[in-house]
Chain A
Amino acid sequence: MTLPTGFGRKFPKITIDYQKCTVPFACKQCLQICPMLVFSVTRVMAKEQRLKEMDPRVDGNYVLHAVRRDKCTVCNKCLEVCPVDALKIEVP
């Protein structure tokens, strides 16, 4: 049975301020600096259209999620690199 690291442990809580983080794919700072690949960026499915590519520079086309917060070591590299101060990490 494969269990995530530290089963029963409280994982860090990562909050993303979507008012500030609007073009995560174009920015990609946190995504590329995170040593544990906590973040994931996906296109907003509702905005996708057939025969049309989405521009990553347009607000709200892509959305950032802290999917694998179990992997976060709270090294705070993402906080340092975020140009819009959109991230907050709470240690449980």
Chain B
Amino acid sequence: MCVLCKEYGDPNVAGGIWYLNPKNHARNMYKLRLPGEGFKGAEAGLETGVRTGPTIADLLAAAEEGDYAKYTKFKQEMQARGQGSQIVPLNDADRILELCSPIGLIGCICRRDWRAIDERNEHEYTCMGMGVGMLKWERWPERYKGGVKFVNIDEAKEWNHEMDRRGFVHILMLFGAPFIGGFCQCDYPDCGALRNAVDFGVGTLKSHYIATVDYDTCNGCGICAQRCQFGALKFEVTSEKANIDMFKCYGCGLCESGCPRKAITLVRRETMPAVAEVWT
């Protein structure tokens, strides 16, 4: 079971998946920060405060020294401190968007940091903020450059499907667990969350699903191989079919939603004991 489900899931609600539990989208998850309490709700995140503890720079220094024990210790500390995020496939994304309100389209902070790309209007936005925290976006215009476009559930779903068609991975972001504050549309390597997950195994958890190929239906068109961001799916030359390394699979579902023949299906991670606990 994933660490977030253990803490915030309810076995009687939506199969125990934490983000489908309406409680975690509830208004009372959000509250003002009390002195000494640390950052919570929409006040958390990149726009406020300096994070303490080891950083990527410390990880790299330990890697340079070849100090495995130190590296592992830093990693565990980073993981414990993390606010949490998880990859979510498109079908679950639709269900999440029915639970949260309000939903606002915003510019992506990672692309701004890594490529200095400013998304300054609704046609450029590639990120989604959600929950009551979005109502105070005006406090931090530097973070929300170009403003916020509030959308209804159908618009949000349509937008999310368009992002999926373009090939973005959907990552649900927690800002002070279990407050769900954002739905990022991510791309390796310009997404910080995805990059830390793939390069260091820190931060973002894999999804609750794993992609499997039906060899009878797959005709080896190779579209899925272009969409995989994790190097988990390749075109297997010998069999002329898609081949998925299930240990590398993050369960984002991009291969599934891109397959013209519906040859790829997502199955619950729990159904495969050897990968059931592989979350990073």
Residues of A whose CB lies within 8 Å of any CB of B are 1-4, 7-11, 24-25, 28, 31-32, 36-37, 39-43, 45, 48, 50-54, 67-70
Partner among A3, A52, A67 whose Cβ is within 8 Å of the Cβ of B56:
A67
> In the docked arrangement, what's the CA distance between A10 and B63, Å?
9
> In the docked arrangement, what's the CA distance between A40 and B72, Å?
24
> In the docked arrangement, what's the CA distance between A83 and B82, Å?
37
State whether A4 touches B63 (Cβ < 8 A). Answer: yes
Given A1-B201, A2-B200, A67-B56, A52-B141 contact (CB < 8 Å):
yes
Contacts of B267 in A (CB 8 A): none
* Any A CB within 8 A of the CB of B243: no
State whether A67 touches B57 (Cβ < 8 A). Answer: yes
Contacts of A28 in B (CB 8 A): 115-116
Contacts of A31 in B (CB 8 A): 114-116
Contacts of B216 in A (CB 8 A): none
State whether B116 touches A41 (Cβ < 8 A). Answer: yes
State whether B116 touches A32 (Cβ < 8 A). Answer: yes
In this complex, what residue of B is CB-closest to A28? B116
State whether A68 touches B116 (Cβ < 8 A). Answer: no
> In the docked arrangement, what's the CA distance between A42 and B110, Å?
10
State whether A70 touches B113 (Cβ < 8 A). Answer: no
- Taking the closest CB of chain B, its distance from the CB of A46, in whole angstroms, is 9
Number of cross-chain contacts by CB at 8 Å:
72
Contacts of A45 in B (CB 8 A): 50
Given A25-B116, A53-B142, A7-B66 contact (CB < 8 Å):
yes
* Any A CB within 8 A of the CB of B163: no
Given A4-B60, A50-B140, A24-B145 contact (CB < 8 Å):
no
Contacts of B114 in A (CB 8 A): 31, 37, 39-40
Given A40-B114, A53-B145, A2-B280 contact (CB < 8 Å):
yes
* Any A CB within 8 A of the CB of B37: no
State whether A7 touches B63 (Cβ < 8 A). Answer: yes
* Any A CB within 8 A of the CB of B190: yes
